[in-house]
Structure 1
Amino acid sequence: MRTRAKICGITRLEDVQAVVQAGADAIGFVFFPPSPRHVDVEQAALLVQAIPAYVQSVGLFVNSSAEEIQNILKKVPLDILQFHGDESPEQCKQIAQAVGRRWYKAIQVKPELDIVEEINKYQNFGASAVLLDAWHPDLKGGTGHSFDWTTFPKLNIPLILAGGLNPDNIEQAILTTQAYAVDVSGGVESAKGIKDQQLVERFMQGVHRGSANR
């Protein structure tokens, strides 16, 4: 099975074009003001217009209300929601139903967490996938850190690998985890929110090699 890839934290039109040209399956926009990769509604609306058919647009939200997300969706026609905060399975389902979008949940892999049990909770409430990210006591993703890939579970729900991925380790990450998809942000940047076209291309080449050998 081919490993899918999402490039997250896009803030510039030229980066949308570079990511599409490199062959990414999805482009992520961060609607979380404290993040250095945050985009406002007007900026995101312009960027989404540049995404062609068959490439998905994903909105990353942290503890946002259904009303806040709905107001964004009025101007930014996102394909899917990524909940990256402390949202419970019930909250994710309620918000997604209220705004009429599919969704998935990002879970930080804490040492004491029963990750399979946590994944099952969100799957039972309708998650289209679950993203596993490195844990950080303060940051909600974008840490640049990875977790122990050998703990990556094999389950009957699409699992997305994130955290510390870059062009140099992505092939091995795919071979180790057999992840349905991978998600990168800082690993292909020259500065926070600024993607490096060469790094994006190298990353996607690694994704293709990993997919071919998995």
Structure 2
Amino acid sequence: MSASLPPARAKICGLSTPETVEAALAAGADWIGLVHFPRSPRHVAFDQASHLSAQARGRAERVVLLVDPDDAVVRAAIEAVNPDLIQLHGRESPERVAAIRALADRPVMKAIGVAARADLTAIPAYAGVADRILLDAKPPAGAALPGGNGHRFDWAILDGADLPAGTMLSGGLDAGNVGEALSRTGLGAVDVSSGVETAPGVKDPERIAAFVAAVRAAR
């Protein structure tokens, strides 16, 4: 690890059981992610998310992932989950991101789908209203989910890009390639979901531990 760089940070997203939340916490994950999106195999209802969030309180930052939420859903998420961060993974405009941040009165992370260099042009507008940017692989045409599809984008797209501090990388990451991803992009934080699963929505404690260990070893 370079003495000039802090350790890379890891988020485990799409957790849905006490056992896998505990696995992420035991592995040393920096964030745990709870998905509230009924079309996702990782969806958790707010009552369930409330218990999982309480389990992680004080041990990792808690993130609730929402997709194009209306104000009622945002309020319900805050009341049930009390997240440290709201992750927006839909087609929210910069104006909507700003409105959600104001309504929630807590930090917001905005996911931006990337498939080509041109997709990076959206970053400045969102960087002005979101606390973090998450660069994820753009879903293929016709995909049912905006993320968690297990695809990666060409990291060379980021070469020379002026990315905001705290930008995170996602999309097709696993324990076998996350070290290369961090080295190749120079980013300091990553987000994984399908890369620590044995089937969609089924997290594997051993894969979670291996992923976090690979992140720590990368820098």
Structure 1 position 49, deviation (Å): 1.1
Q: In the alignment, what sits opposite 1:201?
A: 209
- Partners of 1:38 and 1:179 lie apart in 2 by 28
1:98-146 deviation digits (Å, cap 9, x = unpaired): 121210110001326240x311111122x11100011122230011000
Q: In the alignment, what sits opposite 1:140?
A: 146
Q: In the alignment, what sits opposite 1:43?
A: 48
The secondary structure found in structure 1 opposite 2:32 is strand
Runs of 4+ in 1 over 4 A off after TM superposition: none
- Partners of 1:210 and 1:89 lie apart in 2 by 33
Point out where structure 2 has 5 or more consecutive residues left out of the alignment.
1-5
Aligned positions of 1:18-57 closer than 5 A: 18-57=23-62
1:151 lines up with 2:157 in the alignment = yes
1:152-193 deviation digits (Å, cap 9, x = unpaired): 234242110000001111111111011121000010012222
Q: In the alignment, what sits opposite 2:123?
A: 119
The answer on whether the counterparts of 2:150 and 2:172 sit within 8 Å (CA) in structure 1 is yes
The secondary structure found in structure 2 opposite 1:15 is helix
Give the counterpart letter for 1:49 in structure 2: A
Aligned positions of 1:1-214 closer than 5 A: 1-111=6-116, 113-115=118-120, 117-125=121-129, 127-136=130-139, 137=141, 138=143, 139-152=145-158, 153-211=161-219
Point out where structure 1 has 5 or more consecutive residues left out of the alignment.
none
Give the counterpart letter for 2:131 in structure 1: S
The answer on whether the counterparts of 2:113 and 2:119 sit within 8 Å (CA) in structure 1 is no
- Partners of 2:52 and 2:7 lie apart in 1 by 27
Give the counterpart letter for 1:57 in structure 2: R
Give the counterpart letter for 1:179 in structure 2: L
- Partners of 1:78 and 1:154 lie apart in 2 by 29
Give the counterpart letter for 1:204 in structure 2: V
The answer on whether the counterparts of 1:9 and 1:185 sit within 8 Å (CA) in structure 2 is yes
The secondary structure found in structure 1 opposite 2:80 is coil
- Partners of 1:114 and 1:71 lie apart in 2 by 32
Q: In the alignment, what sits opposite 2:3?
A: none
The secondary structure found in structure 1 opposite 2:96 is helix
Structure 1 position 75, deviation (Å): 1.8
The answer on whether the counterparts of 2:117 and 2:157 sit within 8 Å (CA) in structure 1 is no
- Partners of 2:180 and 2:201 lie apart in 1 by 25
Superposed CA RMSD? 1.3
The answer on whether the counterparts of 1:12 and 1:194 sit within 8 Å (CA) in structure 2 is no
The secondary structure found in structure 2 opposite 1:165 is coil
The secondary structure found in structure 1 opposite 2:213 is helix
Structure 1 position 52, deviation (Å): 3.7
